Structure 1
Amino acid sequence: MKPHTNIQKEIVQLAQKLPKLTERQKAYAYEHCFKHYAHRTKGGMITCMECGHRWKSEHRLAEKLCGCTCPHCGRKLEVMDTRQRVFTNNEYFSIVTTCNGYQVFRFFYVKVFKKVMQPAKYSITEVVQRWISSKGETETFARLRCMFGLYYDMWSLNSNMELRSQKRLHAYNIYGVCTYPQIKLLPKLKYIGFRSDFYGSSPYDYYAAVLSDCRIETLPKAGQTCMFRHAITNGIRLKDYWAAIKICIRNRYEIKEPHIWCDYIKLLKHFKKDIHNAKYVCPANLHAEHDRLVQKRNVELREEQMKKDLQKALTDEKKYKEQKGRFFGLSFSDGTLKVKVLESVTEFFEEGMAMHHCVFSNQYYLKEDSLILSASIEGKRIETIELSLDTMQIVQSRGACNMNTSYHRQIIELVNKNIQLIEQRLTA
């Protein structure tokens, strides 16, 4: 990728000036990136997998539990009883340094080949550089990597170190197994006061977050480590929650489940609750309060959707009147119950909302062979009745939430007694 911005052009030039690895740094990587083993045969012959020296085992159990020391190279080794003779492994080693006002993270691909009775062969190649400006702007300088293979470490080690697209930054998120202890930091990062404790995140993620938003550094200092990791991992807009976070810090309330807590704060804002009040922001039972607001919001969303559906359904008003207009005005009563025909799509909507069933959402007003009636007592809806116009029989009669009421049998008898009135309207 060719550099386009001034920062990219500057980084391309500075990358060429970074020093090569010293022998001391290589030795540190080889020492700390891998475990060091001694190969022991069934006959008790031990081979140092670092220098290839062999000697006779003297204390099998003690060597297995406590390890041994190679008499030739002096390396402390873990004893491994196996018939395998060839071993390969690879890890990542990182160096944290600075260059001309940039914080730089250099990642090296370290590979080792070990064979019994041969010295170990190590190789180390720089594969990624992550550059961060003092304002938190980031760029990636790296070798090519296969993005679609099944293996994570498929580097094209013969490719050049070049500027890589920001769109693929996730492909270069490397977590080194060890970091060189001599760390160089920008003055701004030294001022913050953190040097080696990254609270479970990678050094790159930590410093990039701190430089881009100064509020990030407050979280671990105030004991909000879970919220800190969540902010870095998910890239949330911390300023959207900062007022509530400060209330938590002030009241010594630790946010242990930040993903749920953030959703909860969004819901509080939606319902216009005071997020500066510890009563809301620091709930004793976060799950219960979160679920309560979620349920309330779901009801609200359903009502909003029903209203949208009503607007669409009003276009079917004319069709409904053509099909069922002859039944409009029809009602009958036994002195207690009153049964009437639903005369508009709006009445279907109101019936569905009040009774919590699907008479509106399932578009019963479009069913040509069904007549929908509503049974009520002094204006209070009791049950909704579906009558088949083909058979003149009741298909169903449902109360709130599709449950039968104590008036169910009385309603059915009342409708059956007045079937003749419906037939008269049908044949008129």
Structure 2
Amino acid sequence: MKARNKYQEQIVELSYRLPAITKQQMEYANSHIFPLLAYRNKKKGWCIHCGSALAFDPNSKAKYVKCSHCGKRLEIESKSDRKHTFRAYFTVVCTFGGFQVVRHFFCTKKIHKGLAPEYDYCEVVQNWIDSNGKETILARSTIPFTGYYDYWNRNSELSIKSRRGYYSMYASRYDIENTVIYPYVGLLKEVRRNGIVSLKDLDCVPVNKLLSSILSDTQTELLVKHNQNELLIHKIRIGYHHIEALKHPEAIRIACRHRYIVQDATMWLDYLDLLEHFGLDLHNPHYVCPMNLHEAHDRLLIRKNREDAKAKREQDIKEAQKFEKMYKEAKAAFFGIVFGDDKIVISVVQSVSEMAIEGEEMHHCVFTNRYFCKAKSLILSAKDKDGNRIETIEVNLDTFKVIQSRGVCNKNSVYHDRILKLMEDNMHLIIKAA
């Protein structure tokens, strides 16, 4: 797209005046962006860096070898390929005309055994960022219908581009990450003032988004100046189309003030959500800066899971109330049955609510699996003389056999055999009521 105003015309004009990639930059890229491999096929092989032939000891199980021609330490891969093509991005960060410029080169290396490698560098994207963080994108066009979102058309010119719609899968085409950055970077004085003096530990996020954010967002500046790299990386990555502010800014300020370095951004932010859920003070460093984040997070998570489970049980019981009438009509004939011995009392479960309590206290699925809806099942509860539940029993009303008798957590109690004997001796009561 053509420049639409004087601001964009200025950037296009400056783009034409940018110097070409230098020999030193290309040499650095050749050594760092392409993998150092040796392809091995039994005794023979070759160096992927320089193309020279290599000899291998057939009995050696070494994972690395040093090339006798270029001196590089190579990782050995078992392959019989005689040629290969590598592609990767290389990024140069500089200043030009009062702008912060991020230049992305699409690099191709073609290597054939016995021949010197061929390199090609094509500049595909330029991110121009002014001192206020406003970004303008110049990029080449892409070839459509290829299945690759970054299949660049090398014959096209660098021109003004805009990011696509909010829901577009191609929105991050011009935010290139996982690239090797040339170590000698030029940064605007405003960028240095706001805390970034090196990109050494921040090369795992799109550089243009980082630099644009540091110039326009105070929270990013806070994270950079207090070495909160994990939070910073998380902040840059979650903003798919634009940089979004992290939740709980007051807690982040407390952590920075107390020099608490967050090592796991995702877990710490989840932990803050749990603190907020339980109404705990997000301005209190005792909560915000736990000595052991994993333990503090897991402790609140267990509490939250119990709360959710209780709410779900209450909801399930509420929904099951509509089956109460049906259950009582279907099983009313058995409600008077009670039998046992000097230690055990067995009786029929007489309501859906009672079955819910049975399942909760015994930690099994008699309620959650809706046994109250099974027409051919009769559920009984075995208790001791003090009313403590021992086992839950299911009887099939077609065969009048005990299908199962389960104690706590579906395990057999010490009275299991005794309960089965009582059921067998008193099964005639159930048959008579049926």
- On whether the aligned pair clears a TM of 0.5, the verdict is yes
Residue in 2 aligned with 1:280? 287
| 1:3-402 paired onto structure 2 within 5 Å | 12-23=8-19, 25-35=21-31, 91-97=89-95, 103-110=100-107, 124-132=121-129, 138=135, 140-145=137-142, 154-160=151-157, 161-166=159-164, 167=168, 168-175=170-177, 177-179=180-182, 181=184, 183=186, 185=188, 188-197=190-199, 199-201=201-203, 202-235=206-239, 238-377=245-384, 378-402=386-410
Counterpart selection for 1:411 from 419, 425, 428: 419
Sequence identity (%): 35
Q: Distance in 2 between matches of 1:120 and 1:327?
A: 87
Deviations 1:213-244 (CA, angstroms, capped at 9, x unpaired): 31222223223223322332334965423333
Q: In structure 2, do the counterparts of structure 1 residues 310 and 108 end up closer, same or farther at CA, with 3 Å as the change threshold?
A: same
Paired residue secondary structure (1:165): coil
Q: In structure 2, do the counterparts of structure 1 residues 138 and 297 end up closer, same or farther at CA, with 3 Å as the change threshold?
A: farther
Q: Is the 8 A contact 1:12 1:163 kept in 2?
A: no
Q: In structure 2, do the counterparts of structure 1 residues 343 and 140 end up closer, same or farther at CA, with 3 Å as the change threshold?
A: farther
Count of aligned residue pairs for this structure pair: 384
Deviations 1:231-266 (CA, angstroms, capped at 9, x unpaired): 323349654233333333344332222222222222
Q: Is the 8 A contact 1:227 1:255 kept in 2?
A: yes
Query: How far has the Cα of 1:150 moved from its partner?
Result: 7.8
Paired residue secondary structure (2:346): strand
Q: Distance in 2 between matches of 1:119 and 1:21?
A: 32
| More helix per residue | 1
Query: How far has the Cα of 1:270 moved from its partner?
Result: 2.1
Q: Is the 8 A contact 1:90 1:110 kept in 2?
A: yes
Q: Distance in 2 between matches of 1:417 and 1:251?
A: 71
Query: How far has the Cα of 1:359 moved from its partner?
Result: 0.1
Greater gyration radius: 1
Q: In structure 2, do the counterparts of structure 1 residues 297 and 152 end up closer, same or farther at CA, with 3 Å as the change threshold?
A: same
Cα RMSD (Å) of the superposition? 4.2
Q: Is the 8 A contact 2:91 2:181 kept in 1?
A: yes
Residue in 1 aligned with 2:55? none
Deviations 1:363-419 (CA, angstroms, capped at 9, x unpaired): 111222210011223333222111122222222221221122233334333333332
Query: How far has the Cα of 1:10 moved from its partner?
Result: 6.8
Contiguous gaps of at least 5 residues in structure 2: 33-49, 51-65, 75-81
Contiguous gaps of at least 5 residues in structure 1: 37-48, 50-64, 69-76
Letter matched to residue 317 of structure 2: L
Deviations 1:192-213 (CA, angstroms, capped at 9, x unpaired): 1424336323431321332453
Paired residue secondary structure (1:18): helix
Q: In structure 2, do the counterparts of structure 1 residues 138 and 411 end up closer, same or farther at CA, with 3 Å as the change threshold?
A: farther
Q: In structure 2, do the counterparts of structure 1 residues 328 and 103 end up closer, same or farther at CA, with 3 Å as the change threshold?
A: farther
Letter matched to residue 333 of structure 2: R
Query: How far has the Cα of 1:422 moved from its partner?
Result: 1.7
Q: Is the 8 A contact 2:149 2:173 kept in 1?
A: no
TM-score (norm 1): 0.73
Deviations 1:31-54 (CA, angstroms, capped at 9, x unpaired): 443249xxxxxxxxxxxx9xxxxx
Q: Distance in 2 between matches of 1:90 and 1:111?
A: 7
Q: Distance in 2 between matches of 1:284 and 1:209?
A: 30
Letter matched to residue 174 of structure 1: I
TM-score (norm 2): 0.72
Q: Is the 8 A contact 1:33 1:91 kept in 2?
A: no
